[in-house]
Amino acid sequence: MEEIMRLFPGEIRQAIQRRIGDRWNYLQEIRIRLYRPIELIFDDAAEWLELVVPDNKDGTYLINQLSSFSLYRMEDELREGYITVEGGHRVGIAGRVITSSGKVKALQNITFFNIRIAKEKIGSATGLVQHIFSRKYLNTLIVGPPQTGKTTLIRDLTRLIASGYGKISPRKVGVIDERSEIGASLKGVPQHNLGLRTDVLDACPKSDGMMMMIRSMSPDVLVVDEIGSGEDIAALMEAINAGVTIICSIHGNDLKELKKRPSLQQLFEQQIFDRYILLDKLHRPGEAAKILDKKETELLSRTRGVKDEVDWSTAFNRDSHINRV
């Protein structure tokens, strides 16, 4: 985690390292608030570092490390409220917002930092493939509140679909990574493993990127994170009508809640999604609480061994796919 530790001045760095110890795999966030104790958020609890309290000097050090001493070069990212660093980790920032004509122009007096630890949980989606594939991949919506592993899951699904799984051959996958969370690209190169046949549009608005990707890269499957706006839904409908499978995620607790949102009415009325994967905070991040079909029938409880079932072995026979990639 050297790419994260280099962001902090010496005393703070040492204090964080001592407290985390060998628990990096369980760390979700490091929250820095100037003149307040540092908060470490793990999978099961939050802890506070009260002996070292960051001040303005420490905040300046953090900003210089994040921007390589040139905030001007990161103007666009600052307007979005986050910066992606090496390793795919995202640093959310907050402070005083400068607006122009009702839109965010700049962010000044940055005093709040949220270092979100990027984790690749290779294999976290292997148990889901059998539920979202039936001769072809099915339109799938991943639903869950924050910090339930939606992005972790959609990232691993992308890897499996693009590289092939069991007896399923690889598919061409297009990722519209508006917030640079799925691939965590730096200078256009994904920092996470997204599979052999994946193409990425990084930092591109979903509403523009979906059709751009279809026209330019002819994907079989399109992956997008955190849909929600009317523009997102219109572009998603256009992509589906073009014959492309959509796998996407959305913030929400359940389908009942989502059905109340006006922008999503069309999706439910036309039964666009064949599968719904529901996540919650009672399960491990990325672990499905429920999997529903188009009619909202629970699938997780169904027994396996049905006729014509695909071989879901986790062993991938590369020889059988050499000429398909």
Segment 4-25 shows an average pLDDT of: 94
The tens digit of pLDDT for each residue in 233-252 reads 999 999 999 999 999 999 99
Range 141-162 average pLDDT: 94
**Whether residues 67 and 198 fall in one domain:** no
Residue 96, pLDDT score: 79
Domain shared by 104 and 165, yes or no: no
Chain center to CA of 106: 25
Tell me, what's the pLDDT at 76?
65
Judge whether 112 and 280 are in contact, CB under 8 Å.
Answer: no
| Rounded CA separation 95/4 (Å) | 21
Least confident of 81-90, 174-183, 204-213, 249-258: 81-90
Which pLDDT belongs to residue 181?
Answer: 83
The mean predicted confidence, pLDDT, of the chain is 86
Asked which of 83, 116, 149 is the last residue of a domain, the reply is 116
Alpha helices in 150-306 (DSSP H): 150-163, 206-217, 230-241, 255-258, 265-269
Residue closest to 225 by CA, chosen among 240, 238, 236, 211? 236
Give percent above pLDDT 70 in the chain. Answer: 86
From 116, 136, 160, the end of a domain falls on 116
- Structural domain count of the chain: 2
pLDDT given at position 147: 81
- The answer to whether residue 315 scores a pLDDT higher than 70 is no
The pLDDT value given to residue 127: 92
**Is 121 part of any domain?**
no
**In this structure, which amino acid lies at residue 32?**
I
Domain that holds residue 316: 126-321
With a CB cutoff of 8 Å and minimum separation 6, the contacts of 187 are: none
Q: What is the pTM of this model?
A: 0.77
CA distance 39 to 31: 5
